Structure 1
Amino acid sequence: MRNAGEHLSFDHALRDRVRRRGGDPLLTYYAPSSGVRIELSPRTFVNWVDKTANLLVDELDLAEGDSAVLPLAVAHPGHWTTLVWIAALWQVGVLVRGPGAVVAAGSPDLVVTGPEEYEHDFPGARALGARAVVACSLHPFGLGFPGPTSPGVLDFGADVPSQPDVYIAAPATPGAPLWQDSERTLDWAGVRDAAGSLLAADGTYGRRTVLPTAAYPTLLTALVGPVLGDGSAVIIDGPVEDRAVAEISAAERSEA
Structure 2
Amino acid sequence: MSFLFEELDYRPTPIGALSLRRRHVLSLGVDVFEIKLGEEHLMSSMFTASEIALARLGLAVLEGAGLDVVVGGLGLGYTAQAVLEHDTARSLIVVEMLDAVIDWHREGLLPLGPGLVADGRCRLVQGDFFAMAGGKGGFDPDAPGRRFDAVLLDIDHSPDALLDDRSTGFYRPEGLHALAAHIKPGGVFGLWSNEEPDPSFVDRLGSVFAEAWAEPVTFHNPLQDRPFTQTVYLARTGGASDGAA
- What TM-score comes out, normalization by structure 1 length? 0.34
In proportion to residue count, which structure has more helix? 1
- What TM-score comes out, normalization by structure 2 length? 0.35
Higher relative contact order, chain-length normalized (CA < 8 Å, sep 6+)? 1
In proportion to residue count, which structure has more strand? 2
